[in-house]
Chain A
Amino acid sequence: NAGVMQNPRHLVRRRGQEARLRCSPMKGHSHVYWYRQLPEEGLKFMVYLQKENIIDESGMPKERFSAEFPKEGPSILRIQQVVRGDSAAYFCASSPTSGTGGNRAFFGQGTRLTVV
């Protein structure tokens, strides 16, 4: 079991470009969570998805950010028209059942986005 796989590990974008971050959950996991970690801060929840459904996006900025988890393929976090304040580490986690309650959530290595 390869664990939660995120790619790319590092991503550099110029202001105004689009960033696409990918997350493949652990085998057998159908629930994916995205978190953002700003420099010197803790992780903040962004969005929770199941296959083809967004369950909770209460932590997503209202504009420029979107997430999907299609029936086939990885989950994608998309940031349009990036700004310097989007520079952060973005982590993906997966779990086997609804909610993380009672289950250990497994995190990927993160994608470090730098906007120049």
Chain B
Amino acid sequence: KQEVTQIPAALSVPEGENLVLNCSFTDSAIYNLQWFRQDPGKGLTSLLLIQSSQREQTSGRLNASLDKSSGRSTLYIAASQPGDSATYLCAADNFNKFYFGSGTKLNVKP
């Protein structure tokens, strides 16, 4: 059964810092890995999707990498801003269902 772990559980950084969020998964037979953002009391917003055959995806200040063999993905956020404060979830897609990590709660201080 797929297990997804995210480290750290919480992170507080000053504005402008570059930061890395980590995600690990136990079953490498995934279709893709997706990173989501969740704001308090809100739904999920898809940030980046990495197909199993890809190594990374970029969108603006966000870059996500995927290493299937080691069961790891990282989300890199460049030049963080207070508006980036949210919980970031990674989800491994094992066909027909996502397995989510518990998230990293990010606070970017002005």
Contact = CB atoms under 8 A, between A and B. Distances in A.
Contacts of B99: 45
Contact of B100 (A43, A102, A104): A43
A44 B100 contact: yes
B31 interface: yes
Contacts of B21: none
A72 interface: no
Interface string A38-77: 0011111100100000011001000000000000000000
In this complex, the member of B32, B89, B96 whose beta carbon has the largest number of chain A beta carbons within 10 angstroms is B96
B71 to A, nearest CB: 17
Contacts of A99: 31, 95-96
A25 interface: no
Contact of A56 (B89, B97, B100, B103): B97
A33 B97 CA distance: 8
Interface residues of B, number: 25
Given A91-B43, A106-B46, A45 B98 contact: yes
Interface size range on A against B? 20 to 34
B89 A91 contact: no
Contact of B51 (A56, A102, A107): A102
In this complex, the member of A48, A91, A98, A99 whose beta carbon has the largest number of chain B beta carbons within 10 angstroms is A99
The dominant DSSP class at the B interface is strand
B102 A41 contact: yes
A80 interface: no
Contacts of B93: 100-101, 105
A102 B101 contact: no
Interface string A8-51: 00000000000000000000000001010000111111001000
B46 A105 contact: yes
A42 B100 contact: yes
A59 to B, nearest CB: 7
A48 B44 contact: no
A94 to B, nearest CB: 12
Interface of B: 4, 31-32, 34, 36, 41-46, 49, 51, 89, 91, 93, 95-103
